[in-house]
Amino acid sequence: MKVMVIGGGGREHAIIKKLKESKEITKLYALPGNGGIAEDAVCVNIGATDIAAQVKFAIENKIDYAVVAPDDPLCLGAVDELTKAGIPCFGPDKKAAIIEGSKVFSKNLMKKYNIPTAAYETFTSADDAKAYLENAEYPIVLKADGLALGKGVLICNTLEEAEAGVKEIMEDKKFGSAGNQMVIEEFMTGRDVDELMLDKKFGSAGNTIVIEEFMTGREVSVLSFVDGNTIKIMSSAQDHKRAKDGDQGLNTGGMGNFSPSPFYTKEVDDFCKKYVYQPTVDAMKAEGRPFKGVIFFGLMLTPKGPRVLEYNARFGDPEAQVVLPRMKNDIIDVFEACIDGTLDKIDLQFEDNACVCVVLASDGYPLSYEKGFEITGMDKFHDDEGYFLFHAGTKFNEEGKVVTNGGRVLGVTALGKDLKEARANAYRATEWVDFANKYMRHDIGKAIDEADV
Ligand code: AMP
Ligand code: GLY
């Protein structure tokens, strides 16, 4: 079986390493992959959003199965196009990927189907939003709607900050563009982007904004496999989004994480099974958008109980890096069951162990940083010994050496019999690799001590 994976970060590396374990797979391609993925798959220089080229490559190379991992190609319809071309494909179609693509859609879905989330209002006019803010309680959360705008979350402590936030999102359009608005409109109405362009309706359109209640509590990530009807939950994880120790500094894509989360108790699991997971799958089906693929539930464990912070339509990054090494099943069987609608027949199982990932970044991330530094010590990692080096931002230079090529460079990941052992293993392994301007957090997994496990 020939399989291709779209994407080129740490998450895709984790998916590829898991696929490599499958006896059914004879050849693996990554589009575009990266310097480390090249060890495990054939990297093809086709971008993650170049859907036409992906389809062409799949047909020409007689690909048996495709996996679309990142949010952008999912929201742009890569699964739809590959499926249309006769390539079986893992991931939600465009209609279902909107659960991540539009905050307004996902918030409205939760409201309509009584899925617990933060209270919110949506606005399409900056004046209305500002009027609402005058009588709001602080802190308050502002979210820009739209594709790739998921990062557009502002937590505002005062009215002044919130007014400035509305200006950034709706007037300066810092988080969006007319293009994104068109893609969302296309999602909502089924009209073509080309047709919408002719309308010129979006040239000066303001974004939609979600204004949301501020919640407190621990954040837990839960990944799940979904086949349109059935949902199976993977083991939980906990991310560290801020750049610096003690959860200080700017928000990043994730500086490290661990699985399982000791705070994801049976009580939380029972609650979410009843009020969150299956209700979400049923809601998508009822909306005529059956979801097949991975739903990532970003949960906040508030004093009032678990609440959904966000949905993603894909594996998390770096959640995949700590969850997949613990999965016992052959992943291709699970992928196929999701698309064929036979997930109820799969006995999804995880090892009774733990996994910790510490991200090695380029100093200066997430703002500005230098790239192109040679990485040494990579040969010390052996998957079969429970030490994984997932490459996020690396490439080959002209001399064929692997060099840094991004803010997040490597995900140093280790298994252990429990969280403390996995953490010690992961931090030991961070010393094996080196490159100029190497930066990491030193407190990944601090919550493990707080939970006293
Ligand atoms: P999101 O993209 O919606 O997950 O938001 C990114 C981050 O912002 C989350 O991981 C939370 O840390 C924070 N956040 C989002 N919504 C809220 C909320 N309603 N209350 C408190 N923090 C939030
Ligand atoms: N680690 C969070 C995400 O993948 O969105």
Evaluate if residue 453 carries a pLDDT over 90: no
pLDDT of residue 195: 54
Give the pocket of ligand 2 (CB within 6 Å): 239, 254, 312, 316-317, 319
Q: What is the mean pLDDT of residues 235-259?
A: 93
| More confident position, 204 or 238 | 238
Do the bridges between strand 238-239 and strand 248-251 make them parallel or antiparallel, or are there none, so unpaired?
A: unpaired
Q: Report the mean per-residue pLDDT for the chain.
A: 91
| Ligand 1 contact via 139 beta carbon (within 6 Å) | no
Distance from the CA of 16 to the center of ligand 1, in angstroms? 29
| Ligand 1 contact via 299 beta carbon (within 6 Å) | no
Evaluate if residue 131 carries a pLDDT over 60: yes
Give the other-Cβ count within 10 Å of 425's Cβ. Answer: 21
Minimum CA distance residue for ligand 1 atom 4: 310
Q: What is the mean pLDDT of residues 194-218?
A: 67
Distance from the CA of 238 to the center of ligand 2, in angstroms? 10
Name the pLDDT band for 256 (thresholds 50, 70, 90).
very high
Are the beta carbons of 220 and 309 closer than 8 angstroms? no
Question: Which ligand 2 atom sits nearest the alpha carbon of residue 318?
Answer: 1
Question: Which ligand 1 atom sits nearest the alpha carbon of residue 239?
Answer: 10
| Ligand 1 contact via 220 beta carbon (within 6 Å) | no
Distance from the CA of 46 to the center of ligand 1, in angstroms? 33
Residue 387, C-beta contacts closer than 8 angstroms, at least 6 positions apart: 380, 381, 413, 414, 415, 425, 429
| Ligand 1 contact via 227 beta carbon (within 6 Å) | no
Residue 301, C-beta contacts closer than 8 angstroms, at least 6 positions apart: 217, 218, 219, 220, 263, 268
Are the beta carbons of 269 and 244 closer than 8 angstroms? no
| Shortest-distance ligand to the CA of residue 296 | 2
Distance from the CA of 25 to the center of ligand 2, in angstroms? 28
Distance from the CA of 298 to the center of ligand 1, in angstroms? 9
Minimum CA distance residue for ligand 2 atom 5: 316
pLDDT of residue 169: 82
Question: Which ligand 2 atom sits nearest the alpha carbon of residue 317?
Answer: 4
Minimum CA distance residue for ligand 1 atom 8: 153
Are the beta carbons of 210 and 170 closer than 8 angstroms? no
| More confident position, 261 or 102 | 261
Minimum CA distance residue for ligand 1 atom 5: 153
Distance from the CA of 296 to the center of ligand 2, in angstroms? 9
Distance from the CA of 402 to the center of ligand 1, in angstroms? 35
Nearest Cα neighbor of 11 from 231, 154, 221, 265 is 221
pLDDT in tens, 384-430: 999 999 999 999 999 999 999 999 999 999 999 999 999 999 999 99
Longest dimension (CA), the chain: 61
pLDDT in tens, 21-67: 999 999 999 999 999 999 999 999 999 999 999 999 999 999 999 99
CA angle at residue 358 from 353 to 363, to 5 degrees?
180
Helix (H, G, I), strand (E, B) or coil at 54: helix
> Which of 106, 221, 390 has most ligand 2 atoms within 8 Å of its beta carbon, as the pocket-test mutant?
221
Are the beta carbons of 416 and 425 closer than 8 angstroms? yes
139 cis-preceded (ω within 30 degrees of 0): yes
| Shortest-distance ligand to the CA of residue 312 | 2
| Ligand 1 contact via 214 beta carbon (within 6 Å) | yes
> Which of 310, 314, 317, 319 has most ligand 1 atoms within 8 Å of its beta carbon, as the pocket-test mutant?
310
pLDDT of residue 154: 86
| Shortest-distance ligand to the CA of residue 309 | 1
- pTM confidence score: 0.91
Minimum CA distance residue for ligand 1 atom 9: 309
| Ligand 1 contact via 154 beta carbon (within 6 Å) | no
Residue 276, C-beta contacts closer than 8 angstroms, at least 6 positions apart: 115, 116, 297, 299, 306, 308
What is the number of residues in the chain? Answer: 453
User: Using a CB cutoff of 8 Å and minimum separation of 24, what contacts does 285-288 make?
Assistant: 285/228, 285/229, 286/113, 287/109, 288/95
